[in-house]
A and B are shown apart, each in its own frame.
Chain A
């Protein structure tokens, strides 16, 4: 059974940093691209970032480019999102999601339950 468990969400001050983790199990992690999607309180879904199966290629939404960094450790079956220069508008539940294949083009077919990031002074 595919399981994705996010962690690392917290209350952080504007301008601060946070690293989210997503522990994966139940599938061959190194064979699949992974993504982060967020949802601000009471709002819709917003795609954040994506990384290919080997970690060699990444892509970001304009709203986070230059501030967030996606990475993965295939030996630990873990996906990361390093979040720097955080803003109030980054407040959201952050979901990690598995793609159906190794590259960018593919369906998000499994999702974690999310971790809450709150940016506030």
Chain B
């Protein structure tokens, strides 16, 4: 089973700042890596797929990068609505996994 390790666990930032979230896989997932945003009481929302592709309707302040085992989600300038929990997810096999999440808080 592929283990996804996200860091940091919590990121304390202010609106307008840059956020850099990391996801490391225990073995290569190529670019079968997605990022989801989740707010309290809501279902996860797809942000990034294929490691760097932005989902429909996602603002361009969100960008993903990486391949193989090391991935990054960057939020260039935090807006108030961006404070949430972010999960990475590998989807290259029948048995997929999620990272533990990074909470971006004010």
Q: Is the CB of B93 within 8 A of A111?
A: no
User: Quick check: B96 and A47 within 8 Å, CB to CB?
Assistant: yes
Taking a contact as CB atoms under 8 Å apart, the answer to whether A44 and B93 are in contact is: no
Residues of A within 8 A of B46 (CB): 107-109
What distance in Å separates the Cβ of B93 from its nearest Cβ neighbour in chain A?
7
B98 touches A107 (CB 8 A): no
**What residue in chain B is nearest A45 (Cβ atoms)?**
B98
Q: CA separation between A105 and B99, bound complex, in Å?
A: 18
Name the contact of A105 in the complex, choosing from B45, B91, B101 (C-beta under 8 A): B91
Query: Within 8 Å of chain A (Cβ to Cβ): is B34?
Result: yes
The CB with the most chain B CB atoms within 10 A, among A45, A46, A57, A113, is that of A45
Flag whether B97 is at the interface (Cβ < 8 A).
yes
Q: Within the assembled complex, what's the spacing in Å between the Cα atoms of A59 and B38?
A: 25
Range class of the B interface residue count:
20 to 34
- Say whether A50 contacts B98, CB under 8 Å: no
Contact A106 B94 (CB under 8 A): no
CA distance A47 to B99 in the complex (A): 11
Whether B94 pairs with A111 at a CB distance below 8 angstroms is no
Are A45 and B49 in contact, CB atoms less than 8 angstroms apart?
no
**In the complex, A109 Cα to B32 Cα: how many Å?**
13
B87 touches A (CB below 8 Å): yes
- Given A105-B32, A107-B34, decide whether A113 and B43 contact each other with a Cβ distance below 8 A: yes
- Report how far A50 CA is from B95 CA in the complex, Å: 8
Set of chain B residues within 8 Å of A46, measured between Cβ atoms: 98
Q: What 9 A-B pairs are tightest by C-beta distance, nearest first?
A: A104-B94, A59-B94, A111-B43, A45-B98, A44-B101, A47-B96, A107-B49, A44-B100, A113-B43
A-B contact pairs, 16 of them (CB 8 A): A44-B85, A44-B100, A45-B87, A46-B98, A47-B95, A47-B96, A47-B97, A95-B43, A95-B44, A104-B93, A107-B34, A107-B46, A107-B49, A108-B91, A111-B45, A112-B43
